[in-house]
Amino acid sequence: MEPFKEFINQDLIATLGRIFQRVSPGFDTEMFVAIASKGLDKLELKQRVVQVRDALDATLPPTFDQRCRLLLASLHPSEDTDRDGVKFSDEGACGFAVWPLTELVSHCGLDYPEQSLDVLKEMTKRFSSEFAVRPFLVHHEAVSLNIFRKWASDDNRHVRRLASEGSRPRLPWGMRLHKFVDDPSPLMPLLEALKNDPEEYVRRSVANNLNDIAKDHPEAVVSLANRWIEEAPKPRVRLLKHACRTLIKNGDTGALAVFGYHSAQHVEADIQIITPTVQYGEHLEFSLTLKGLKPGGNLMVDYRIHFVKANGTTSPKVFKWLDKQAVTASSLQAARRHAIKPITTRKYYAGTHRLELLVNGVSLGTAEFDLLMP
């Protein structure tokens, strides 16, 4: 797969230059292309976005009103370019070509929040403005939240999604919204308004926002999930499961109970390590026997491996295993193979590792195995 940075390339820059030449005949295309292209091959994605933004900053008219007019005129006429299958061309900016435009608005328009957010609303229909709206929430919270609430009922699905995705407290790659990390309550009316959105795309964003919140306020998200789960249609149940995914993976008993995974303290568990010594590149094999299950209940079985680190301490990682609805038997047997192989996110070290069994979020026992390295 082509690296994302390659989407901001010479062809994109040249096409943007032609678009702005068309909407503003005095636009210095040659200067824009020269600034935007300088050392492009050596730059990463965000650096390329910023360089194209700076090239626009140097070549567009000086007043913010003029810039907004030209930026809007440069956009593709479709208001849902994804759904319409539109490709970026001289007809107008869409896709990755819009990202530098959104950055220019947040870079130059921070003193004009209403006007800037109106422009970003139009841009998000062609490429998400989720990164660019965040400085306005920091510096103009009340004004921005009022606009976001209006977006939550907009006819355009991309605008509705922007209300939740742009306000995520911990949006990956985005400016962290520390105030909402500390107190997410101002976001709740937005999420409430979007919980039954007809678009899965929007509902998934609501779930991601709640998952962000759950990392700092698990009790608040569990409380909300208990309210929203009542008479919930299937799409909202899926939203809530995705919203609680980190809590569920971490074995939060409150979140598990929302979905019918009740305490397993009464369950008897027997873990057997089939391969007590594992050579790096091979598999850890183990089996499980559970007794005392309550027929009719839901069952979630995960396991946590405590990996040895370079300094001899351990680092735990949870892995999903079984998810059974309305179990019919009082006992269960299962076996598992877990590959101990090279991955980019972990470096392995020799030593005694610990396997821990989690049933409905409750730890029901551990067993050890030795990892041998080449």
Instruction: Tell which CATH architecture fits domain 4-258.
Output: Alpha Horseshoe (1.25)
- The pTM is what? 0.86
Query: Average pLDDT for residues 137-149, to the nearest whole number?
Result: 98
* pLDDT at 265 > cutoff 90: no
CB 79 within 8 A of CB 156: yes
* Position 169 pLDDT exceeds 90: yes
- Read off the pLDDT of each residue in 217-231 and give the average, rounded to a whole number: 97
Calpha distance 15→87 (Å, rounded): 12
pLDDT digits (tens, 9 = 90+) for 50-69: 999 999 999 999 999 999 99
Percent of the chain with pLDDT over 90: 94
Report the percentage of the chain scoring pLDDT > 70: 100
Whether the predicted pLDDT of 262 surpasses 90: no
- pLDDT computed for residue 263 by the predictor: 84
Q: What's the pLDDT tens digit per position in 311-347?
A: 999 999 999 999 999 999 999 999 999 999 999 889 9
Q: Which CATH class for the 268-372 domain?
A: mainly beta
Beta strands in the chain (DSSP E): 268-273, 277-279, 283-291, 299-308, 314-324, 331-339, 351-359, 362-372
pLDDT at 70: 98
- The residue length of the chain stands at 374
Residue pointed to by tokens 């006819």: 155
Work out whether strand 299-308 and strand 351-359 pair parallel, antiparallel, or are unpaired. antiparallel
Q: What is the pLDDT of residues 68-91, one digit of tens each?
A: 999 999 999 999 999 999 999 999
Residues contacting 184, CB < 8 A, separation 6+ = 169, 213, 216, 217, 220
- For the segment 132-142, the average pLDDT, to the nearest whole number, is 98
Whole-angstrom distance, CA of residue 313 vs CA of residue 324: 34
3-class DSSP assignment, residue 173:
coil
> Which residues belong to CATH 1.25.40.290 in the chain?
4-258
Task: Dump pLDDT digits (tens) for 174-210.
Answer: 999 999 999 999 999 999 999 999 999 999 999 999 9
Give mean pLDDT, residues 214-243: 97
Per-residue pLDDT at 1 exceeds 80: no
pLDDT reading at 366 higher than 80: yes
